Structure 1
């Protein structure tokens, strides 16, 4: 897949800031916690990632947690700005027999051509992008008619619940530790407002010691 000119992004969305402490920490954290997170999210990923085509774009590929859901011999265009993740992602792609097209770019501007891909996936990513609305607009731009955006994300809890109180309490240290991740984003609202032709979303909870992380959605949005 070749790069092409893409729509410009707002000036507020500038660049990914590599941090010499948080970057390596997060790469190690998600490598270490990968099996635990996978056990919590597996059934939802299996459902929304079922039947992926042989070429997929993933925003925020991290250390390669979703490579196992790609068909053998397929290609992953990985949009991952945190270069501290890259070595583990490349090793995982070699292990799983996936051809990796790794792009050190932000999801707000993938550089991919209009109407060029059939599927975009994300998991635990829209919480940390600078502007979810711009990212979703970019996803719609690069998807072909009939293409799908498949996602598994954690979201803001309902007002008045203990989880919502924890999200409010820990929002600043959480965002600092996890490189801008917000545990208070209403990502369902963002996806439904993004202009997709159809959107199917399921709500669920995972039960972890990380209370702000417990409320989730999984779904498929079609152009």
Structure 2
């Protein structure tokens, strides 16, 4: 009870300090402003993040080729492509379909694609992860998301779409930040900062237990690990990484 009261008190203090941001949100100014500024912020933040978790991503993507189609080709759909900082980890000749709900990321995606000519771009779609109807069923070998499930409206619906677009035997690769362990300092601070974090960072939620939705999604095989990413801020260190096979 004491811990809960302390969380509520500290959360209130943070919200008071961030009152101008809440006021802009209430007036309907913050959301369109965030949609325009967020890609610029992510372009910088993603470069820093990639340097810090480079080895984690390299390890995670090391077996992408294992899920190539019988012809040897690999078609990959990335959900929430953002500025395209994952492109460097994809194998030569990989055909990619980029999707993001925010169209303002497109120029950053184009820049990243120009730096990674080893990839073949099929198309770039503006679409939420919950509705990928523009992608035919069972048409891709691999689906990827990194730091995306924290901000989607329905993880359950995203899982259904991933399973729909994957061919039988295809795989979903993920690296997502999640809620800290019960009674941990990470979770304590996540609970305090979560409301303002969600407001400032385009719907990003820190306290989601994403692994639970992966476990019950219906994949035939799930390789999932809980890790602490080597990041500066302790409360965003809890991550899950791995892949799930349809």
State whether structure 2 residue 73 is matched by structure 1 residue 56.
no
Residue in structure 2 matching 1:114, options 137, 146, 151: 137
- CA shift for structure 1 position 61: 0.2
- Structure 1 unaligned segments of length 5 or more: list them: 1-17
SS at match of 2:53: helix
Match of 1:24 in 2: 36
Residue in structure 1 matching 2:219, options 171, 196, 199: 196
Written as runs of structure 1 = structure 2, the 5 A alignment for 1:1-223 is 19-52=31-64, 53=68, 54-97=74-117, 98-100=119-121, 101-111=123-133, 112-223=135-246
- CA shift for structure 1 position 48: 2.1
Query: C-alpha deviations, 1:93-117, integer Å up to 9, x for none?
Result: 1221133310001111112111111
* Root mean square deviation of aligned Cα: 1.5
Contact 1:72 1:96 in 2 (8 A): no
SS at match of 1:135: helix
- CA shift for structure 1 position 83: 1.1
Cα distance in structure 1, aligned partners of 2:186 and 2:63:
34
- CA shift for structure 1 position 23: 1.8
Task: Give the greater-gyration-radius structure (CA).
Answer: 2
Provide the TM-score with structure 1 as the length reference: 0.87
Give the 4+ runs in structure 1 shifted more than 3 A.
none
Provide the TM-score with structure 2 as the length reference: 0.80
- Structure 2 unaligned segments of length 5 or more: list them: 1-29, 69-73
Contact 1:188 1:217 in 2 (8 A): yes
Query: C-alpha deviations, 1:68-114, integer Å up to 9, x for none?
Result: 11123432101111011111011111221133310001111112111
Cα distance in structure 1, aligned partners of 2:221 and 2:94:
26
Contact 1:200 1:221 in 2 (8 A): yes
Question: Greater helix percent: which structure?
Answer: 2
SS at match of 2:41: helix
Match of 2:16 in 1: none
Cα distance in structure 2, aligned partners of 1:68 and 1:170:
32
Mean CA deviation greater in 23-32 or 111-120? 23-32
Cα distance in structure 2, aligned partners of 1:170 and 1:20:
22
Contact 2:100 2:126 in 1 (8 A): yes
Cα distance in structure 2, aligned partners of 1:21 and 1:208:
27
SS at match of 1:151: strand
Contact 2:185 2:235 in 1 (8 A): no
